[in-house]
Amino acid sequence: MLLICFLRFCFLPFFSFTFLHFYFFYSFTLLPFYLFITFANMTKKICLYSFLVLLLLVSCGRPNTRAYQKSVNEFTTDFWVKTTPVKDQGHSELCWIYAMLATIESEHLMMGDSVNLSPDFTARMLLQDNAREYFFSRRDNPISMRGMGASMLRLLQRYGCEPYDTYYNREPVNYQVLCRKIEQMARASVSLHQFNDHLQNLLDNEIGFMPKFVFMLGVEYTPLQFAHSVCMPDEYLSLTSYTHHPFGQRFVLESPDNVLRDSFLNIPIDSLMHHLVAALRHGHPVCWEGDISEPGFSFEKGIATLPAAANGDQQYRRQRDFEARRTTDDHAMQLCGLAHDRKGNRFFIAKNSWGTNNPYGGYMYLSYDYVRLKTVAIFMSQKAFETGVRNGK
């Protein structure tokens, strides 16, 4: 092999520049293949097959941009509310925190105020509460991180909030694993003081050291003072639509995730949809909670639809599915826009919290019928609700 290379370089000066360039490229490009064949005693045929397989693997690794482009062009945006970047809740049950914070952020963005809030701060406050309760309980029930948008508002008014850049983890925290660690720690602790010390050290290591103050535009805030600057008490309304309670009255929604037993204003589904659309049309975001167990819900495709539009009383069907537990409070997202497809079908644009790995960069398109049937509750600002009152129902 070395002799062949030596003879080539000896006779290269006698050839033209074109042949020189060709032989130079040929020698140094295929030299690794020759050495590989010599070292492994493999035939030229096997080497050729390996090279073809390599080319195939490289081509399969490229994203299918044509398929994505086709999906992206399927919808036309009618109204769009400004949003902060899509986040990733990771292995956690904290969609309700991400969705409610995203709604508060967009409400400020539409007013010209830049706000990006930390989900990990609220998660830590919730975890501390649940850990203390678990320590004093019989420790039969595991620690849960589930909740609703109203729970997020309650925690914000109790503990405050912090900006996203002040308190966040570069990789999503696995809160499910963290809950199990805290349970083991509680069972091994002999006193609350000992448990609290170990708990704070664990949370600092797993989530990050928590600053005591917030610095914004040269001003120092406590987390509670900062929270009151972005969300005042009773600024948001909780709405639902079921017939087992009178319309026009508030009631404690019978959802397993309503752990703090918050009350919701009950209105007919037609009124709820009117307020939802009116809010988005006038630049107000909405926090949505509902069922995602339907086969037509696909984050990978970025769309949620029902098989066919059902005839009959939609209010009755909603009640029937809720009582039969075919509609459950599975997930929460921020609704941030309105759109339509090529056939004129109406869709809501939703900002999810599962990262950006779908055709719409983490956003989804929920059909009007899907939202109408599968909504469990929504949360909007008082201003957004008043917009609906001024414009109809």
How far from 9 is each of 6, 18, 24, CA to CA, in Å?
5, 15, 9
List, for residues 190-213, the tens digit of each pLDDT value: 999 999 999 999 999 999 998 888
Q: Which residues pair with 215 in a beta bridge?
A: 220
Secondary structure string (H, E, C) spanning 137-170: CCCCCCCCCCCCHHHHHHHHHHHCCCECCCCCCC
**What percent of the chain has pLDDT above 70?**
80
Can you give the pLDDT at residue 68?
Answer: 40
> Any idea what DSSP says for residue 42?
-
What tokens appear for 357 in the block? 């790995």
Can you give the pLDDT at residue 72?
Answer: 54
Can you give the pLDDT at residue 24?
Answer: 35
Average pLDDT over residues 30-39: 41
- Give the separation between CA 259 and CA 124, rounded to whole angstroms: 17
Average pLDDT over residues 290-304: 96
CB 304 within 8 A of CB 367: yes
Can you give the pLDDT at residue 337?
Answer: 98
Residue 46 has pLDDT above 90, yes or no: no
Residue 268 has pLDDT above 80, yes or no: yes
Can you give the pLDDT at residue 4?
Answer: 42
List, for residues 114-154, the tens digit of each pLDDT value: 899 999 999 999 999 999 999 998 777 889 999 999 999 99
Percentages helix, strand, coil for the chain (3-state, rounded to 5) are 45, 15, 35
Closest CA to 143 of 91, 114, 107, 183: 183
Can you give the pLDDT at residue 310?
Answer: 59
Phi, psi of 155 (to 5 degrees): -65, -35
What tokens appear for 106 in the block? 């967009």
| Helix ranges, 207-355 (H) | 223-230, 269-281, 314-323
pTM confidence score: 0.81
Closest CA to 330 of 299, 297, 296, 289: 289
- Give the separation between CA 148 and CA 290, rounded to whole angstroms: 10
> Any idea what DSSP says for residue 264?
E
Q: How many helices (H) and strands (E) does the chain have?
A: 14, 13
How far from 126 is each of 8, 146, 160, 297, CA to CA, in Å?
74, 10, 12, 29
